[in-house]
Amino acid sequence: MNFYITKRQGLCITGRAVCSYCHLKSTEVKLHTTFKKKRGPETGTLNDGLALALTKSKLGVADAKLVMSCLNINPPDGRGLQRKLNQMCDRVEAINEASMVENQQYVRRVNTLRGEGDAVDLETDTSYNNRPQAGFEAATQSFSPMMEASTPRKLVVSLQTANKLCCKRKCENHTNCKKYYYTEDSISSSEAKLLRKNLDFIQTKIS
């Protein structure tokens, strides 16, 4: 009995078994599961699982392709995987935002039970993809989470980022552009701006 791959979509494959004696061919069998999207055809869970793993690690598309090649696994197309990764990042961002709103509501309920009103202790810090240096600025991204310090759980209640990078070589404010921090602005000054955005986010969602 031999098995031949008849269709490949990234890591998801469909195949057919063929008898080596009588050459009887089976019907095509999907060796993966799929789920429906809001628009377009069904997508394979393996491809989305790979994209989700990349969002939770420091590996990029090229790194993932190298790992799979070393394991003798035919890697997905790089452009398709990058597109899938961008879509997954948007979905994860929406999930994280909903989770932070739930954390805000939890802290508010705790304060209500304690009789402490709306006063909440907050902690925040900002990190950069390159350490800021005097006279030279290599950083292009910054990351500023805000956590509550009123409960032992230390929940994240807001998170803002600054990004000077764009996927296009010539960024001209195109649709869905991920560059939302001006190139001429110093990334070192993003700490104060992101602090203001964090506070605005909390005030908007909790009201």
Q: Judge contact between 161 and 198, C-beta under 8 A.
A: no
- pLDDT at residue 204 in the model: 87
Separation between Cα atoms, residue 126 and residue 95, nearest integer Å: 22
Q: Judge contact between 19 and 51, C-beta under 8 A.
A: no
pTM above 0.85, yes or no: no
- pLDDT single digits (tens) 54-64: 888 888 899 99
Tell me how far CA of residue 162 lies from CA of 91, 96, 173, 194, in angstroms.
19, 17, 16, 8
Separation between Cα atoms, residue 10 and residue 158, nearest integer Å: 35
Element (H, E) at 147: strand 141-148
The top-scoring range by mean pLDDT among 52-56, 96-100, 128-132 is 96-100
List, as one string, the DSSP characters of 103-132. HHHHHHHHHHHHT-TT---EEE--EESS--
Tell me how far CA of residue 9 lies from CA of 13, 36, 71, 80, 114, in angstroms.
6, 15, 18, 10, 54
Separation between Cα atoms, residue 51 and residue 58, nearest integer Å: 12
A 10 A CB-CB count for 77 gives 13
Structure tokens at 123: 């902690």
What does the domain layout of the chain look like in residue ranges?
Answer: 1-32, 120-206
Nearest to 61 by CA among 108, 16, 10: 10
Q: Which amino acid is at 97?
A: E
Give the burial class of 156: count Cβ atoms within 10 A of its Cβ; 0-12 exposed, 13-18 middle, 19 or more buried: middle
- pLDDT single digits (tens) 166-198: 777 777 666 667 787 887 888 888 999 999 999
Confidence check: pLDDT of 97 > 80: yes
